[in-house]
A and B are shown apart, each in its own frame.
Chain A
Amino acid sequence: MDLGSINPVLLIAALLLASTPILLAAMGELVVEKSGVLNLGVEGMMIVGAVAGFIVAVESGSPALGILAAAAAAALLALLFGVLTQVLLSNQVATGLGLTLFGLGISSLMGQGYVGIRPPTSPRLELPVLSDLPIAGPVLFSQHALVYLSLALVAGVWWFLRSTRSGLILRAVGESHEAAHALGYSVLGTRLAAIVFGGALAGLGGACLSLVIVPQWTEGMTAGRGWIALAIVVFGSWRAWRVLLGAYLFGGVSVLQLNLQAAGIAIPVELLSMSPYLITILVLVIISSDKRRAQANAPSSLGRTFHASG
């Protein structure tokens, strides 16, 4: 097939970046769900991260500070969810939905004075020699720092869950909170920590949108990406590398189909437009098709309330 004016190097560079917000949010939610908590507030935390990161970056002139603030603000919002669901034992589904609505609302309030402002540009990582390499340069060595961070986080989360003692405890809490509690582990502490971590990552994803990809603040700018991240965690059957694959497939096919349209490739646009959803679901369902194993991987206590005296 003639790909016309599509430059594969630019394309790959673009799809790595486009996938990053969803990847970050999904990685956070993976850890949260592995601890047995279902937080449907990803969308709300992302957008609060987006606006908080934007405001701090504009006011301070430093994108790095903005990114930190985004993680902090979304983590704070996640902590609110944690206190409500873990300490006050509210329903996780309702509270998560509420968190999304609250996040959308408060972000548009916070962002009132920031519509139409240009943020300080966040420079790409330019390495003296490596960035000038013909193909690997633009693809591998001149991405935004958040892209590298997200990849490091995938490896980190995978290693943490698989090979560390704390990761084992977190999984135990997610599998059977009664047993973990009986063994003397703090269910509450573990889950709160996971929730805050998940919030921080969702916030980073939001900042990636408002500071790097778009870069501007617009109300409602996450436009459903938090929900996509949630879906990818489930379809990726709670495994870090599959979630990475899912996020890159979704982000990649989304960018690819836009490029195919721009290049005027004769594929019906209707097909192209649904392709990101179709291909992502198809691939992840096929690799997770061993039902027993997929179910074994789903945290057994997911979404169940735990009360120590109960």
Chain B
Amino acid sequence: MKKIVLLAAVAAMSMNLPAFGGSHGDGPVKAGFVYVGPIGDGGWTYEHHQGLLAVEEHFGDKVETVYQESVPEGADAERAMTQMALQGADIIFTTSFGYMDPTISVAAKFPDVKFEHATGYKRADNVSTYSARFYEGRAVQGHIAGKMTKTNKIGYIASYPIPEVIRGINSAYIHARKANPDVEMSVIWVYTWFDPPKEADAAKALIDNGVDVVLQHTDSTAPQAAAAEAGVISFGQASDMSEYAPLPRVSSIIDNWAPYYIARVQAVMDGTWESVDTWDGIGPGMVEIGEITDAVPADVKAEAEALRDAIGSGEYHPFTGPLNKQDGSPWLAEGETADDGTLVGMNFYVEGIAGEIPN
């Protein structure tokens, strides 16, 4: 019993908001944000919070925001969302893949509240999904990685075996291979989005095995610190991580959620909100490539920027054939590009990557 009371008290404390009770109709629009890590992770959650701050700045008094950090994916997430809905949130952004089922289930109980789930694929009348085409940025990183590696071994710290992560691995590998046919890639699955010591240990394990370029798909800056110590190259993930520039961080993928969040809150205000599926990349500015530092030779930098611009303008698609699946079976013919349906559910490696995707 004590434990339950304590948990309830903790939940109430960590909500950091003063008022209870709904405010539908007039009054400010209330936007809630559920975060998977702490704001101070310097990566994924940090950028979502930048989006929240942009919403506050854009709308001023017309909007009220609430957020909760470090919400575990699972039953706890439902509790956090339910609480936000009960407290009168009009729109709730749930910002991690693992919130998919909780979001759908809570949304069914609150038909008047709009939900926005990041990186998932399940929608409902009051649930939109949104994601960014991070794999476009991965193509640019892969190119730089292939050019910069001296040991011809690059490493990838992967979180969970979900399509978003697998797309990134494939895209990075394809473009590293194009830039350097001798390149090999090691993938480590850490089964966490946020665990700095484990991320650091994974980076060290890669480096100890001869890797000299580390890519990460986890949320903290710990791999950057490990790369700095070992004198190898890394890329900022989700956020610019510019504090690690010019070395080890030679470039980065920045998730820019602010325009999307502002547009969706605006839609709630105008009463024009509809359930949609948004998947934007470099072109619309949802994915940005952080400054490529001078540690990268000028010609490689120019090639990387040209690749970025070609992807941004739609001239080039990172998944363009000929491409085979890992088992050698053909996937895309010469000049054919991947359709979004396949990409959304991607569950296979492309040819050349060693190892298996865990189930």
A and B: interacting chains? yes
Of listed A94, A115, A219, residue having the most chain B CB within 10 A = A219
> In the complex the two chains form, is A216's CB within 8 Å of B222's CB?
yes
B39 in contact (CB, < 8 A): yes
Contact with B along A196-225 (1 / 0, CB 8 A): 000000000000010001111011111111
> In the complex the two chains form, is A14's CB within 8 Å of B201's CB?
yes
A131 → chain B, closest Cβ, in Å? 18
* A219 and B192 alpha carbons, distance in the complex (Å): 15
* A213 and B196 alpha carbons, distance in the complex (Å): 9
Would A262 and B209 be within 8 Å (CB), given that A94-B6, A273-B191 are in contact? yes
* A281 and B130 alpha carbons, distance in the complex (Å): 41
Which among A214, A219, A263, A273 is the interface contact of B38 at CB below 8 angstroms?
A219
A135 in contact (CB, < 8 A): no
> In the complex the two chains form, is A258's CB within 8 Å of B221's CB?
no
Those of B152-210 within 8 Å (CB) of chain A: 155, 186-192, 194-198, 200-202, 204-206, 208-210
User: A101 — which chain B residues lie within 8 A by C-beta?
Assistant: 10
Those of A68-117 within 8 Å (CB) of chain B: 91, 93-94, 97-98, 101, 108, 111-112, 115-117
* A261 and B198 alpha carbons, distance in the complex (Å): 14
B40 in contact (CB, < 8 A): yes
> In the complex the two chains form, is A261's CB within 8 Å of B205's CB?
yes
User: B220 — which chain A residues lie within 8 A by C-beta?
Assistant: 218, 221
A21 in contact (CB, < 8 A): yes
B329 in contact (CB, < 8 A): no
> In the complex the two chains form, is B208's CB within 8 Å of A10's CB?
yes
User: A269 — which chain B residues lie within 8 A by C-beta?
Assistant: 189, 356, 358
Would A213 and B186 be within 8 Å (CB), given that A117-B243, A259-B205, A269-B358 are in contact? no
A156 in contact (CB, < 8 A): no
B48 → chain A, closest Cβ, in Å? 14
* A223 and B222 alpha carbons, distance in the complex (Å): 13
B57 → chain A, closest Cβ, in Å? 20
> In the complex the two chains form, is B359's CB within 8 Å of A218's CB?
no
> In the complex the two chains form, is B196's CB within 8 Å of A223's CB?
yes
Number of A-B contacts (CB under 8 A): 134
Give the number of chain A interface residues (Cβ < 8 Å). Answer: 49
> In the complex the two chains form, is B197's CB within 8 Å of A268's CB?
no
Nearest A residue (CB) for B358: A269
> In the complex the two chains form, is A118's CB within 8 Å of B225's CB?
yes
A150 in contact (CB, < 8 A): no
> In the complex the two chains form, is A255's CB within 8 Å of B205's CB?
yes
Which among A4, A214, A255 is the interface contact of B196 at CB below 8 angstroms?
A214
User: A117 — which chain B residues lie within 8 A by C-beta?
Assistant: 243
Those of B39-97 within 8 Å (CB) of chain A: 39-42, 70
A121 in contact (CB, < 8 A): yes
* A118 and B244 alpha carbons, distance in the complex (Å): 9
A152 in contact (CB, < 8 A): no
User: A21 — which chain B residues lie within 8 A by C-beta?
Assistant: 197
A254 in contact (CB, < 8 A): yes
A18 in contact (CB, < 8 A): yes
User: B3 — which chain A residues lie within 8 A by C-beta?
Assistant: 97
* A262 and B354 alpha carbons, distance in the complex (Å): 11
> In the complex the two chains form, is A223's CB within 8 Å of B197's CB?
yes
Which among B187, B200, B222, B229 is the interface contact of A121 at CB below 8 angstroms?
B229
Q: List 24 A-B contacts (CB under 8 A).
A: A18-B197, A94-B6, A97-B6, A108-B38, A108-B40, A111-B40, A116-B221, A116-B243, A213-B201, A215-B225, A216-B222, A218-B221, A219-B39, A221-B197, A221-B220, A223-B192, A261-B187, A262-B155, A262-B208, A263-B209, A264-B354, A264-B355, A266-B356, A268-B358
